């Protein structure tokens, strides 16, 4: 079994947008170059904040410094290694990572430790992105890397201010002393800037004089990127205040017919006074019906069997492998239903937690069978509210090479807004829900009338 643990994702989310013809809307890549301590990292962070769109990541060139030999490491600790020469970086690894990210694949980015002059043990896993902000002194140096960029920026800050800031920062944050910073600066940093970094300004689309202070330039850049994202239809937000509300259920979503039986089960499940054992019974009964409906969408083949009276019966058989993937915890409530319908199904699990204040999802745990791509996947959650957790779960499945049309997403309740978010991003994923609830509260992100916290009611953890 493939077992990945993602400790913390230090970005504001992720996912490129997949189309019905299998093509991907590539991530929007912004390159930020400039001298050391010109404000590249600060500008990248400010753009990320001001953009206010989901799934923006910053990739720093520092993560791609070449690994030093013991001799080079010794020189580095004596401030005698040239970290400012263009050859100090691994451009191939950098290109591979940016290319993968731009095309919706996940990457592990090393985290650099300036005190050790080495990559730390930790890496950050990034699952694709809408916007990638790539920053570093040689951000615009390599042609192949430049060609991945949609927007190229150069931060232009006076040399004396750069030196003053570098002194302060490197002493406070990078374990250096005054003498060492000055020695490194005069010997390597300044000449490299003049000879190699400053000349890359010619590749920039926009020069930002004074970096972070230049509020007007940052504002113009932010607006430009937002416009570009809107044109590429990558403007979906988790902040529902700015999300256009869509009342219509997308045409391809399968909503179970509202029979008395379904309505009766919903009545029991939605009633806050329903005791837990009854809740569990009806949740499992309803999940069985939902999974049965999902099964009808799976590919069956014709087959012939012989009956006990030696007659032939022309029937249908499901020959594919089935994997149920529950979005923990609430998706686990559908597992019994899945097993009742198909006892051979293997189960995968994703722990995705949504920040209640922003509605933004984070992937914390991922356990999927190694060959998940060869399975028909029934993705299970209790509800689709904003659609954020579902989007991330689908993104993770695609990243494990599960074709989009091999995924069926099953839930008890969905909102029109969440259904639209998912259907637009992943039009070939089939969605099955037993009911659609009209309201998703913009304040609390609760579904109304809703069922309450499905996981808590099912697992009996309401008082935890
Ligand atoms: N406009 C600014 N005013 C004051 N300090 C700044 C400004 N911009 C950046 N800094 C500080 O200067 C240092 C260098 O900025 P940073 O963004 O790390 O530059 P770079 O990534 O280009 O090396 C950091 O300590 C940062 O907090
Ligand atoms: N081990 C290292 C690696 C790099 N540097 C210096 O960092 C500068 C690049 O980072 P910025 O955030 O300042 O762009 C570069 O000028 C190197 O001199 C280092 O000191 N030690
Ligand atoms: Mg920096």
pLDDT cut 70: percent of the chain above it? 89
Name the residue with higher pLDDT: 11 or 35: 35
Q: How close is the Cα of 34 to the center of ligand 3, in Å?
A: 10
What is the atom index within ligand 2 of the atom nearest the CA of 114? 1
Ligand 1, atom 16, lies closest to the CA of: 39
Query: pLDDT value at position 1?
Result: 31
Ligand nearest to the CA of 212: 1
Residue-wise pLDDT tens digits, 95-151: 999 998 888 777 889 999 999 999 988 888 776 678 999 999 999 999 999 999 999
Structure tokens at 335: 């597992």
- Ligand 1 close to Cβ of residue 336 (< 6 A): no
Residue 10 has pLDDT above 60, yes or no: no
Query: pLDDT value at position 464?
Result: 58
For residue 237, count CB atoms less than 10 angstroms from its CB and return exposed for 0-12, middle for 13-18, buried for 19 or more: middle
In this prediction, residue 356 has a pLDDT band, given cuts at 50, 70 and 90, of low
- Ligand 2 close to Cβ of residue 62 (< 6 A): yes
Residue 283 has pLDDT above 70, yes or no: yes
What is the rounded CA–CA span in Å between residue 300 and residue 294? 12
- Ligand 2 close to Cβ of residue 36 (< 6 A): yes
Helix (H), strand (E) counts: the chain = 14, 22
Ligand nearest to the CA of 180: 2
- Ligand 2 close to Cβ of residue 60 (< 6 A): no
Residue 201 gets which letter from DSSP? G
CB 379 within 8 A of CB 405: no
Q: How close is the Cα of 36 to the center of ligand 2, in Å?
A: 7
Please give the average per-residue pLDDT across 317-337, as a whole number: 91
Residue-wise pLDDT tens digits, 153-176: 999 999 999 999 999 999 999 999
Name the phi and psi angles at 303, rounded to 5.
-150, 160
Q: How close is the Cα of 170 to the center of ligand 1, in Å?
A: 11
Query: pLDDT value at position 426?
Result: 83
Q: How close is the Cα of 129 to the center of ligand 2, in Å?
A: 26
What is the atom index within ligand 2 of the atom nearest the CA of 116? 1
Query: pLDDT value at position 439?
Result: 79
Query: pLDDT value at position 11?
Result: 30
Query: pLDDT value at position 255?
Result: 95
In this prediction, residue 188 has a pLDDT band, given cuts at 50, 70 and 90, of very high
| Helical packing angle, 276-295 and 260-270, nearest 10° | 140
Please give the average per-residue pLDDT across 310-331, as a whole number: 92
Of 14-28, 160-174, 311-325, the least confident: 14-28
In this prediction, residue 9 has a pLDDT band, given cuts at 50, 70 and 90, of very low
Query: pLDDT value at position 233?
Result: 60
Name the residue with higher pLDDT: 128 or 180: 180
What is the atom index within ligand 2 of the atom nearest the CA of 118? 1
For residue 286, count CB atoms less than 10 angstroms from its CB and return exposed for 0-12, middle for 13-18, buried for 19 or more: buried
Instruction: Name the pTM for this structure.
Output: 0.69
Query: pLDDT value at position 305?
Result: 96
- Ligand 2 close to Cβ of residue 410 (< 6 A): no
Residue-wise pLDDT tens digits, 50-100: 987 767 889 999 999 999 999 999 999 999 999 999 999 999 999 999 998
Please give the average per-residue pLDDT across 31-39, as a whole number: 98
Of 171-180, 222-231, 313-322, 440-449, the least confident: 440-449
Query: pLDDT value at position 452?
Result: 87
For residue 257, count CB atoms less than 10 angstroms from its CB and return exposed for 0-12, middle for 13-18, buried for 19 or more: exposed
What is the rounded CA–CA span in Å between residue 121 and residue 364? 19
Query: pLDDT value at position 400?
Result: 86
Residue-wise pLDDT tens digits, 413-446: 999 988 988 887 788 999 999 999 987 776 677 7
* Strand spans (E) along 279-344: 301-306, 312-317, 321-328
Query: pLDDT value at position 322?
Result: 94
Name the phi and psi angles at 414, rounded to 5.
-140, 155
Computed over every residue of the chain, the mean pLDDT equals 87
Residue 12 has pLDDT above 70, yes or no: no
What ipTM describes this predicted complex? 0.99
Residue-wise pLDDT tens digits, 225-278: 988 887 776 544 444 445 555 678 999 999 999 999 999 999 999 999 999 999
Query: pLDDT value at position 236?
Result: 46
- Ligand 1 close to Cβ of residue 34 (< 6 A): yes
What is the atom index within ligand 1 of the atom nearest the CA of 172? 25
């Amino acid at each position: 079994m493939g077992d990945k643990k993602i400790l913390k994702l230090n970005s504001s989310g992720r996912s490129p947008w997949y189309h019905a013809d299998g093509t991907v809307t590539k991530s929007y890549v912004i390159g930020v170059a400039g001298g050391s301590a010109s404000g590249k990292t600060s500008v990248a962070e400010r753009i990320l904040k001001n953009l206010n769109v989901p799934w923006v990541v910053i990739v720093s060139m520092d993560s791609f410094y070449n690994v030093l030999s013991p001799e080079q490491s010794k020189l580095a600790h004596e401030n005698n290694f040239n970290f400012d020469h263009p050859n100090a970086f691994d451009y191939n690894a950098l290109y591979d990572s940016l290319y993968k990210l731009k095309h919706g694949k996940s990457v592990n980015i090393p985290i650099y430790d300036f005190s050790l002059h080495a990559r730390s043990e930790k890496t950050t896993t990034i699952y694709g992105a809408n916007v990638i902000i790539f920053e570093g002194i040689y951000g615009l140096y390599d042609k192949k890397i430049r060609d991945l960029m949609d927007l190229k920026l150069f931060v232009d800050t006076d040399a004396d201010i750069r030196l003053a800031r570098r002194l302060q920062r490197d002493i406070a944050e990078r374990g250096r002393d005054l003498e060492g910073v000055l020695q490194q600066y005069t010997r390597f940093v300044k000449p490299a800037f003049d000879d190699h970094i400053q000349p890359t300004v010619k590749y920039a689309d926009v020069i930002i004089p004074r970096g972070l202070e230049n509020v007007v330039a940052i504002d113009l850049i932010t607006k430009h990127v937002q416009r570009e994202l809107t044109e590429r239809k990558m403007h979906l937000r988790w902040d529902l205040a700015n999300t256009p509300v869509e009342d219509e259920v997308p045409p391809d979503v399968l909503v179970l017919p509202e029979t008395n039986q379904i309505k009766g089960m919903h009545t029991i499940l939605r009633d806050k006074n329903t005791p837990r054992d009854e809740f569990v019974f009806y949740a499992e009964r309803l999940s069985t019906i939902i999974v049965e409906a999902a099964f009808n969408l799976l590919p069956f083949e014709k087959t012939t069997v012989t009956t006990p009276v030696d007659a032939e019966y022309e029937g249908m058989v499901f020959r594919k492998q089935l994997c149920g993937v529950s979005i923990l915890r609430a998706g686990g409530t559908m597992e019994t239903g899945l097993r009742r319908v198909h006892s051979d199904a293997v189960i995968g699990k994703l722990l995705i937690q949504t920040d209640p204040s922003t509605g933004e999802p984070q992937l914390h745990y991922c356990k999927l069978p190694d060959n998940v791509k060869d399975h028909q996947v029934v993705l299970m959650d209790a509800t689709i509210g904003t659609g954020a957790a579902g989007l991330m779960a689908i993104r993770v499945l695609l990243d494990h090479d599960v074709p989009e049309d091999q995924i069926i997403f099953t839930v008890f309740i969905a909102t029109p807004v969440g259904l639209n978010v998912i259907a637009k991003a992943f039009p070939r994923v089939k969605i099955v829900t037993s009911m659609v609830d009209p309201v998703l509260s913009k304040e609390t992100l609760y579904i109304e009338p809703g069922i309450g916290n499905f996981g808590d009611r099912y697992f009996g953890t309401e008082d935890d």
